[in-house]
Chains A and B, each alone.
Chain A
Amino acid sequence: MTLPLIAIFGALTLLAAFFSDRIRGLFLFTLSILAVYALQPALPIRYLDFWLPTAALALALIFWISLHRGAEWHSADNLLSAAWMGLIILTLALTRFLPSAPSPLTPSMPPRPELVFAATLAVALLAALTGRVRFGWVHAVGLAALIVLLAVLKSPEASLWMARTLRLANGQSAETASSFDIRWLGISYIIFRFIHTLRERQMGSAPEVSLREYVTYIFFYPALTAGPIDRLERFVKDIRSSWKPAHEDWIVVVQRIGLGLFKKFVLADSLALMALSANNTDKVQSPGWAWILLYAYTLQIFLDFSGYTDIAIGMARMVGIRLPENFNAPYLRPNVTQFWNNWHMTLTQWFRAYFFNPLTRALRTRQFPIWSVILITQFLTMTLIGAWHGLTANFLFWGLWHGLGLFVHNRWSDATRARVSEWATTPLRQNLLNASGLFFTFHYAALGWVWFVLPTPALAVDFFARLVGM
């Protein structure tokens, strides 16, 4: 989010803080729908930047219906919410007739309203049909489709193929197609929230929520672009509570937004001017400067990401939503395991809940040796976390790097725990141990960013060589 957008959404959220509970709920619902369009970047494929947010909203409607155990989904309140969603989408389409079109509410000129109306009707029909089929099928097909969609969007080759296909279908030239033609704002987070709700429903632990609550949860605008990934149960608890901000809440709001803005727009953006990048990696002349560029990137990525999280948490607090923390001083941790317990915490918690723990249980019940269970689960989980950032070799290597770190730390820790306890008997020795652990962990994470930031493993290997003066 840019500064002006943060200012606009911040001001609107401030306004919402003073509404009654019911009006605030409706306001957040409306604002979250509008944000999906307003924050979506403009795309070169005609109307795609309108259809992608619309598709996300359509998926939300269908998945929400599938969460219900009975027929209560078509209550008057929910039907009204669905109609309100449709009305907003149609109104956005009508903005194409404004003299100053496109309006700031859409990234570019919306498609013709009759097309949008037809699409809205089709989605409504599909949603009604969803209500009639067995939800188990919807969940299974939905989960598979979401994973395939995420894989396609994260793979440059598949995205390029899709861009070409869409361009041709749209009557546009496929020659200038690029994988960046399909940038779907916040889709990684949106899909993970969808998967979370569908899996919880499969396990029977998803709460009953209204359409308004569900859409607000999936597209909650402070957390739309960079998380955190909240849990539905926790989120609706907040949104259903009566809310009147106290002085302490305002202090938190000012502190978190102020700190977030400073971290992102002062520190991180300044560090970006000196950080390691694909542009400068092969031009660095000495190991000393190579380390400085790497440290700058290490701090930049943390300050950028955690700054956005602070802004999201502060903005949400204005309206009584206590978004979960995403970072807890990760670079000040004594080992790689603790680093991952404190870095992008909601993402790691998601993977732990829906991949790591089930896989560990499955392997243990098959009597695999403990070391192999740890090896397989750590490597696979971290590789998937890498793939979540992009299905390219550099992100996969980054995931493997951390999988290796977690596995080695686990084995090392098991093997040396007794001896370390015997040795670290004084505060001095304990501090020494912590300091050396922190130093090692920080540098392990920093070196891991080389894989992450450089687009190919060959560039990363070359930069590692520069770091040691080769």
Chain B
Amino acid sequence: MQESFSIPRTLLKGLALYFVIVLLFALPLPNFGKVSAYNSLFPGRPRLPFGENPAEAYNFSLFNLDAMFASHEVADGTKPADEFRVLVIGDSSVWGTLLKPEETLAAQLNAAAPTYCGKPARFYNLGYPTISAAKDLMLIDYAARYQPDQILWLTSLEALPLDKQLDTPLVANNAETVDALIEKYDLPLDRNDASLVRPDFWDRTLLGQRRNLADLIRLQLYGVQWSATGIDQIYPPYPAPQTDFADGDDQFHDLRPPLDESALAYDILAAGMNHSPAPILLVNEPIMISDGVNSHIRYNFFYPRWAYDAYRAQLAARAESQSWNYLDVWNLLPKSEFTNSAIHLTPAGETILAQTILAALQPECP
């Protein structure tokens, strides 16, 4: 006997099924971010996904750490036995703003082809274009699973103010990971900080997650154009960094001389340095030293001289007292080797920095 077809009943069944699927999504499920077409259908990306113009750069920003790392070449299979793996952590100067993938610090270090402990070294660019020690610690902690033999951590004073640690979008949108870091390293960060995005039940349903899911799919789809063209960033014309400053412009965030150490995230830096999965060479990255109006007050857009000088002294003292492997190259480069910001380097600047780091890098072999 043929069953009769009822429109209301069919609609009701369809709606019921739809809502079950939407709600089931809120249950803890395997993280879809780990499923990636990179390193299988497409080659892994040489730097983490980041960008604001995906239609031209074939790259864009998302906050799913699993998906970000799964798209990176560091996640390509298991670590070869004959590889000395070095992870390079830092801000946009490490990621390579305005630099092609082959011009970044990691690429220049690879081009030098050094050998450590009898193995050829391979440097992985895990920089990400926001300046925050908490963000760096999050990436170091996540990257431990890729079995690094050595880590290069490039940092600067701008990464340290405590009041900005949780503002970075990548950090703010990974509240559970931040919670775990606070717990694990006893960090001086507030779990109830309003910056942290904490999804409620409805945000975790299929409807609430639709943007994140779309981002995951888009990341895979842009893999085709990235693989076909090798492009992961656009290079628009840019203005030179600011070199002239107003009279009396000696502000650094809300701080006043003398530089208050408790307002800076040295504890986060220490957590990374002291609990790292591999030895770390901490590098105080090069900054542009301007020679324009009032350059006796400020080094550059980021730093008044009083704050930066005090920071260098504090960091050097901590490194010495805690036996950190530390390299200070703050004044390594002339002004001409900076592009659009006081920390973004030209390809030639990256080459000089790579040579300097290689000269200082002396990994301990087991």
Contacts and interface: CB of A to CB of B under 8 A. Distances in A.
B225 interface: yes
B228 A289 contact: yes
B7 A280 contact: no
B218 interface: yes
B227 A289 contact: yes
Contact of B5 (A251, A280, A293): A251
A280 B225 contact: yes
Contacts of B55: 279
Contacts of A283: 228-231
Given A270-B221, A273-B221, A274-B221, A284 B7 contact: no
Residue in B55, B221, B227, B229 with the greatest tally of chain A CB atoms within 10 Å: B229
A280 B221 contact: no
Contacts of A251: 5
A176 interface: no
A247 interface: yes
A194 B218 CA distance: 42
Residue in B5, B221, B225 with the greatest tally of chain A CB atoms within 10 Å: B225
B224 A296 contact: yes
A271 to B, nearest CB: 8
Given A250-B7, A251-B5, A279-B56, A273 B225 contact: yes
Nearest to A273: B221
A292 interface: yes
B319 interface: no
Contact of A247 (B5, B56, B218, B227): B5
Given A247-B7, A279-B55, A274 B225 contact: yes
A290 B227 CA distance: 11
Interface size range of chain A in the complex: 10 to 19
Contact of B228 (A247, A250, A293): A293
Contacts of B224: 273-274, 289, 292-293, 296
Residue in A251, A280, A292, A293 with the greatest tally of chain B CB atoms within 10 Å: A280
Given A247-B5, A250-B7, A284 B56 contact: no
Interface string A263-294: 00000001001100001100111100110110
B63 interface: no
B225 A285 contact: no
B222 A280 contact: no
Nearest to A274: B224
A283 to B, nearest CB: 4
Contacts of A286: 228
A349 to B, nearest CB: 34
Contacts of B230: 283, 285
Contact of A280 (B217, B218, B228): B228
B222 A273 contact: yes
Contacts of B228: 280, 283-286, 289-290, 292-293
B192 to A, nearest CB: 38
Contacts of B5: 247, 251
Interface in B209-229: 217-218, 221-222, 224-225, 227-229
A273 B229 CA distance: 13
Interface in A61-118: none
Contacts of B227: 289
Interface in B1-50: 5, 7
A122 B221 CA distance: 54
A293 B229 CA distance: 11
A285 B7 CA distance: 53
A285 B229 contact: yes
A140 to B, nearest CB: 47
Contact of B229 (A270, A284, A296): A284
Interface string A348-389: 000000000000000000000000000000000000000000
Interface in B229-257: 229-231
B115 to A, nearest CB: 30
A247 B4 CA distance: 10
Contacts of A279: 55-56
A274 B229 CA distance: 11
A286 B231 CA distance: 13
Contacts of A247: 5, 7
A215 to B, nearest CB: 31
Contacts of A293: 224-225, 228
Nearest to B224: A274
B24 to A, nearest CB: 21
- Complex A-B, nearest 8 residue pairs according to Cβ-Cβ distance, in ascending order: A289-B228, A274-B224, A283-B229, A273-B221, A247-B5, A284-B228, A270-B221, A274-B221
22 contacts: A247-B5, A250-B7, A270-B221, A273-B218, A273-B225, A274-B222, A274-B225, A279-B55, A279-B56, A280-B229, A283-B229, A283-B230, A284-B228, A284-B229, A285-B228, A289-B224, A289-B227, A289-B229, A290-B228, A292-B228, A293-B224, A296-B224
Given A274-B225, A283-B230, 17 more contacts: A247-B7, A270-B217, A273-B218, A273-B221, A274-B221, A274-B224, A279-B56, A283-B228, A284-B229, A285-B228, A285-B229, A285-B230, A286-B228, A289-B229, A292-B228, A293-B225, A293-B228
